[in-house]
Amino acid sequence: MKINIDELAKKLNIKFKNKELLKIAVTHRSYLNEHRNEDIEHNERMEFLGDAVLELVVTEYLFSHFLEKPEGELTNLRAALVKGDTLSKVGQELGLEKFLLLSRGEAKAKGRSRNYIIANTVEAVIGAIYLDQGYEKTQEFIIKNIIKELPVIIKEELFRDAKSFFQEKAQELNGITPTYKLISQSGPDHNKNFQIGVYLENDLIAKGRGKSKQEAQQEAAKKALKRKKWDQD
C-alpha cells in the first residue's frame, strides 16, 4: 500500500525535514506482519514519545490558563483532552484514517477498534513532529488541533471522571471503596480487549470493556453509576 506522505504533511500543516518519521507514525504493527520486506518500523515507540509530549503540553497549558482551578480539576480536564475519544475525533478531523498503513484485517475494522488505532496514531504523529520540529512547533500543533476541544469538554462536562465519581458516591452512601477486577482479555498484543468488573465488596455491580484496562474500568464505572442511579445526582 502506498501513501502520499507529502499530502499528509500538508494536511498537518507541517514542513517535515525527515518525512520518514511521519511514515513511521502512521505505520501500525499489523502492517509489518504482511510486509516483512519493507525497511520501516511500526509506530509504537513514536506513540510512547508523543503521549508524553502531549501530556506535558496540555498540563502546561491548563496550569497557565486556569489559575483558579485546583489540581484535581486540572487533572480531570487533562484526562478529557488526552483520552482516546478526543484524540480519535481529532485524528478523523485531520483525515489520518486515509493515510494509515494497516494489515488487510485491521483495514476492515470499524467502530472502537478503528477509533483506538486513530487515537494512537495521533500520539505517534505528535512524537514525529516533536522529533522533527522540536517542542514549540509541537506545542502549536497540539493547541491548534487538540486543546481547541476544551470549550466543548467544559460546556458538556466531558471532564467528569466516572471512576472517581463512582468511588465518591460509594464511599459517601455505602461506606465502601470500589474494587476493579480483570474478568477476561482477548486479542493479539496490538489489539487487546479487556473486560473488567467493578465490585462493592463481593458484589459485582457492572462490567466494562475497553482497549486498555483504564478504559474498561471507566466503562464499568459509568455503567455502575447508571445501575445505582447515582448518575442523576
- Report the sign of the C-alpha dihedral through residues 205, 210, 214, 215, in that order: negative
| Residue 123 annotated as catalytic | yes
* CA–centroid distance for 207 within its chain: 21
Nearest-10 crossing angle of helices 162-174, 213-228? 40
How far apart (Å, rounded) are the C-alpha atoms in residues 37 and 44? 19
3-state secondary structure (DSSP) of residue 178: coil
Residues 223-230: contacts with CB under 8 Å, at least 24 apart: 224/166, 224/178, 224/198, 225/162, 225/165, 225/166, 225/169, 228/169, 230/165, 230/166, 230/169, 230/173
Calculate helix-pair angle for 135-145, 84-94, nearest 10 degrees. 90
Q: Report yes or no: 125 and 26 within 8 Å, Cβ to Cβ.
A: yes
> Which one is catalytic: 44, 60, 68, 123?
123
Is 51 designated active site?
Answer: yes
DSSP β-bridge partners for residue 196:
182, 208
CA distance 159 to 79: 7
Q: Which listed residue (7, 20, 38, 51) is catalytic? A: 51
| Residues annotated as catalytic (active site), given as ranges | 51, 123
